[in-house]
């Protein structure tokens, strides 16, 4: 068990500094040596409207998801925080402003909603902020200092995190925040505290195997792109993928790369495929609405066998949908979207480290198998912070191109020649004796239009079969089983960011004596059918939880492997509940045991 497992939630209105103070807290805890998972919920509205929640889970050892209940709730806006009081665990703390600027109507102050088993901590946030800074703007930092003081957390890590956070601000702002933090810390350090919530000594990550980092999924994608040697990026802003482009706009030029903000998503994918054709490692990033606009050009990438990488961070849909809410509902679009049989490689990492690895390996696969590669994230994974350990040695190949043999120079160049592995020798425009035709029309081995039945059959087979080798691509997890080996009562099959909640639920079920295991599937196209078949054969019952209404992954799997499965589909706009998954595991396990008894 973790010596430390504490989740803190900061809740306020847009403009209260809720997300900022959550960011400082998680950075400070990471500096202190703890493992961190954090996720922010914020509104699509402009400043001054809507609820913001920053949740940070701090553990001594690896955790896989946020907890359903927080141990500490910090209210920066009682109207927004009151509905979340029931989410605080028994003997958890509720920290609030006990000296509001004006009298509140009955039921409007959070103190009247704290439950008997919860511990109230009143703090004059606004008053302390005004005393030490001359204004109320720093009351969020006062609250942060109070949390640190109450639980005896080291001041220096918070000061370092604040210095990093406000490094571009004036010295006056930095001094103001330091004074506000100190005032809150002193107030917290003197309060009587019952030791129901404790921060034990952290268990440092194994730094000998790599560098410890705290980053988001989108930050990991950026790091993976740079480590893989990507040198061109074309993008159009869209939530929640925009930060990929924003970070690359800063980092890519430092490495001699080029980034262009295009006028729309169609231009972005067109330029990405054009750069890939010219021999550049190129990529774009988007969300569901943007990917929908890209499908026609993706078909060209498949037909012309041009390498390109597309990062799609899913959000609530359809249409404009819910831009700041998470969902896993673009799977059908990523795998099937487009005219004709246009299979491409689709991967979905399950955590932040996986986002880095999938990003780097996507460029290898795009080049090696000469195809577009889509990496599916979602808002939860894109914005989620995790402490990760990245290897110091770059694991990504600098070049994965199957080039034309020298002995074939001077012969008519068959750009789309039939080969044993389905991958044709490729030349870059301008290479000697490499002139060839590329078209979106069906074509022969020279690239010239040819719509004869036999040619279309053979080319379709070539384009599909060459992708099967991706199931054995080195250096990346295609699928992986966790938990008990051999036959089990319940198997949980998952993909994407929801797998963290699946793992947490599986561990809890095992503690209850339930026979269960879980498998994550990272490669969604082509689908690793044999490992999934073996997993199915070991499971009396199979549960597939996912954040979409239709059960898109269940559709994909059961189409390839006819098998009765239990679907757990949710579209709340927030991460899947561990309790929901655990309840289903219990129900299925009871049914499996009853059937076995009969």
Tell me the whole-structure pTM to 2 decimals: 0.92
What the block records as the tokens of 54 is 């920053």
pLDDT at 405: 73
Q: How far apart are CA 73 and CA 82, in angstroms?
A: 10
Structural domains in the chain plus CATH codes:
5-189 (3.40.920.10), 212-390 (3.40.50.970), 479-597 (3.40.50.920)
SS3 15: coil
SS3 105: coil
Pairing of strands 5-13, 70-75: parallel
pLDDT at 208: 57
Listing DSSP states for 385-397 in one string gives: EEEEEE-SS--S-
Length of the chain: 598
What's the CA angle centered on 483, arms 329 and 473, to 5 degrees?
60
pLDDT at 1: 42
pLDDT at 169: 83
- Chain-centre distance of CA 93, in angstroms? 29
What the block records as the tokens of 450 is 């040819």
Mean pLDDT, the chain cut into blocks of 10 residues (598 residues total): 84 93 96 93 70 95 91 96 96 93 78 94 96 94 97 95 88 90 96 87 66 91 97 97 97 97 98 97 98 97 98 97 96 96 97 98 98 98 94 90 73 93 93 89 96 98 98 97 97 98 97 97 98 98 98 98 96 95 97 83
- Chain-centre distance of CA 566, in angstroms? 25
Q: How far apart are CA 184 and CA 139, in angstroms?
A: 9
Q: How far apart are CA 377 and CA 489, in angstroms?
A: 30
What the block records as the tokens of 34 is 């703890």
Q: Cα-flanking dihedrals φ and ψ of residue 134, to 5°? A: 85, 5
Query: Burial letters for 182-193: b for 16+ Cβ neighbours within 10 Å, e otherwise?
Result: bbbbebbbeeeb
In sequence order, the 6+-apart residues with CB closer than 8 A to the CB of 65 are: 37, 500, 501, 503, 504, 575, 578
Q: Cα-flanking dihedrals φ and ψ of residue 455, to 5°? A: -65, -45
């Amino acid at each position: 068990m973790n010596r430390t497992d504490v989740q803190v939630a900061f809740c306020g209105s847009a403009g209260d500094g809720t997300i900022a103070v959550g960011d400082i807290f998680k950075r400070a805890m990471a500096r202190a040596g703890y493992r961190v998972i954090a996720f922010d919920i914020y509104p699509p509205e402009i400043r001054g409207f809507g609820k913001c929640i920053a949740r940070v889970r701090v553990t001594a050892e690896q955790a896989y998801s946020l907890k359903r209940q927080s141990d500490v709730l910090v209210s920066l806006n009682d109207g927004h925080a009151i509905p979340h009081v029931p989410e605080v665990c028994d003997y958890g703390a509720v920290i609030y402003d006990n000296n509001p600027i004006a009298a509140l109507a009955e039921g409007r102050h959070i103190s009247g909603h704290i439950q008997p088993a919860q511990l109230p901590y009143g703090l004059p946030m606004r008053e302390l902020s005004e005393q030490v800074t001359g204004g109320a703007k720093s009351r969020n930092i006062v609250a942060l200092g109070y949390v640190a003081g109450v639980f005896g957390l080291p001041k220096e890590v918070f000061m370092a995190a604040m210095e990093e956070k406000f490094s571009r601000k004036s010295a006056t702002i930095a001094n103001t925040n330091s004074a506000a933090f100190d005032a809150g810390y002193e107030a917290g350090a003197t309060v009587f505290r019952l030791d129901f919530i404790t921060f034990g000594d952290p268990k440092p990550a194994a730094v000998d195997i790599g560098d410890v980092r705290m980053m988001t999924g989108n930050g990991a994608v950026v790091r993976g792109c740079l480590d893989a040697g990507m040198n061109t990026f074309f993008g159009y802003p869209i939530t929640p993928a925009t930060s990929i482009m924003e970070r690359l706009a800063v980092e890519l030029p430092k490495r001699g790369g080029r980034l262009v903000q295009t006028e729309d998503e169609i231009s972005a994918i067109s330029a990405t495929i054009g750069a890939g054709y010219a021999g550049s490692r190129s990529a774009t990033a988007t969300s569901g609405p943007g990917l929908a606009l890209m499908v026609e050009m993706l078909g060209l990438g498949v037909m012309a066998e041009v390498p390109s990488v597309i990062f799609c961070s899913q959000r609530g849909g359809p249409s404009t949908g819910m831009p700041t809410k998470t969902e896993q509902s673009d799977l059908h679009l990523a795998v099937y979207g487009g005219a004709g049989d246009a299979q491409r490689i689709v991967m979905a990492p399950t955590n932040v480290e996986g986002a880095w690895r999938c990003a780097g390996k996507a460029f290898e696969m795009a080049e090696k198998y000469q195809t577009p590669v889509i990496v599916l994230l979602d808002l939860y994974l894109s914005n989620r912070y995790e402490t990760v350990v990245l290897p110091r040695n770059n694991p990504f190949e600098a070049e994965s191109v199957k080039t034309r043999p020298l002995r074939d120079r001077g012969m008519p160049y068959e750009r789309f020649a039939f080969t044993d592995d389905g991958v044709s020798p490729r030349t870059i425009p301008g290479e000697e004796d490499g002139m060839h035709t590329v078209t979106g029309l069906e074509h022969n081995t020279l690239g010239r239009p040819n719509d004869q039945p036999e040619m279309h059959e053979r080319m379709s087979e070539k384009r599909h079969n060459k992708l099967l080798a991706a199931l054995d691509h080195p250096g990346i997890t295609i699928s992986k089983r966790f938990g008990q080996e051999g036959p089990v009562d319940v198997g949980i099959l998952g993909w994407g960011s929801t797998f963290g909640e699946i793992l947490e639920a599986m561990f809890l079920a095992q503690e209850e004596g339930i026979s269960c295991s879980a498998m994550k599937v990272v490669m969604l196209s082509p689908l690793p059918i044999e490992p999934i078949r073996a997993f199915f054969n070991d499971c009396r019952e199979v549960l597939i939880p996912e954040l979409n209404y239709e059960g898109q992954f269940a559709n994909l799997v059961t189409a390839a492997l006819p098998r009765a499965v239990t679907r757990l589909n949710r579209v709340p706009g927030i991460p899947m509940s561990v309790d929901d998954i655990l309840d289903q595991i219990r129900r299925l396990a009871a049914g499996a045991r009853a059937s076995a008894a009969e």
